[in-house]
Structure 1
């Protein structure tokens, strides 16, 4: 597998730091980790995707499913996606924007902003490819 997931608890938030490639092979692991968090009663989830360097349609599907799951249990999902630059997560931001689904997510440029309940999610469009 070409993905790594580190889990951390920060105040009320469960943070899954994901790095590597989010694709057909690795997306079931992310799906399982999200389901495990919900099953353990953790309904405040941050997916830190700043370290994801590739995301295909399977990865997008897992992200959309995670959003749906968190909404169905009354939880909250936030995502960390750098807007531009050389950071790996900027690729995911572009993919979500190109597919028209980025607007579905609460997106933050870094983890401190995602954990700050007074911070507003980014509302700007994803950068052009």
Structure 2
């Protein structure tokens, strides 16, 4: 069974969603609704902490891209917390975003203090091609 949990917090001007579980076709509409509700409530600065998301499919990626577009359209900001890939599976979403080539669309941070301070994680370098 697909499950997702979202905790919502306020940190100054930032609304923080801590997402845990699986971000997929079944759960993505709920995340989309939460983002829309936040924007409708006048909250235009959003941090989405995806460090505890175990699985993300294209529906989840679509919600993140749509959230970015929505927040930019109202002058807001979206920041994602994506830890590096580790042996325990943490970092799955970052790997998916990189594989799809959309990681660069987002302001990505390693943890909450970085996201709230505005000091971004270093961008992922593009792979270098070597001559055969």
Same fold (TM over 0.5): yes
Residue of structure 2 in register with 1:54 after alignment:
55
CA offsets 1:10-61 (integer angstroms, 9 cap, x no match) = 0110000000000000000000000000000000000000010000000000
Go from structure 1 to structure 2 and tell me whether the alpha carbon gap of 1:88 and 1:52 turns closer, same or farther (over 3 Å shift): farther
Tell me which moved more, 80-89 or 65-74.
80-89
* 2:32 matches 1:27: no
Residue of structure 1 in register with 2:17 after alignment:
16
Instruction: For residue 20 of structure 1, give the secondary structure of its aligned residue in structure 2.
Output: strand
Tell me the distance in 1 between the aligned counterparts of 2:76 and 2:90. Answer: 24
Bigger Cα Rg: 2
Give 4+ residue runs of structure 1 displaced > 6 Å after superposition. none
**Which blocks of at least 5 consecutive residues in structure 2 are unaligned?**
127-132
TM value normalised by structure 2: 0.90
TM value normalised by structure 1: 0.92
Instruction: For residue 7 of structure 2, give the secondary structure of its aligned residue in structure 1.
Output: strand
Deviation at 1:111, TM superposition (A): 0.8
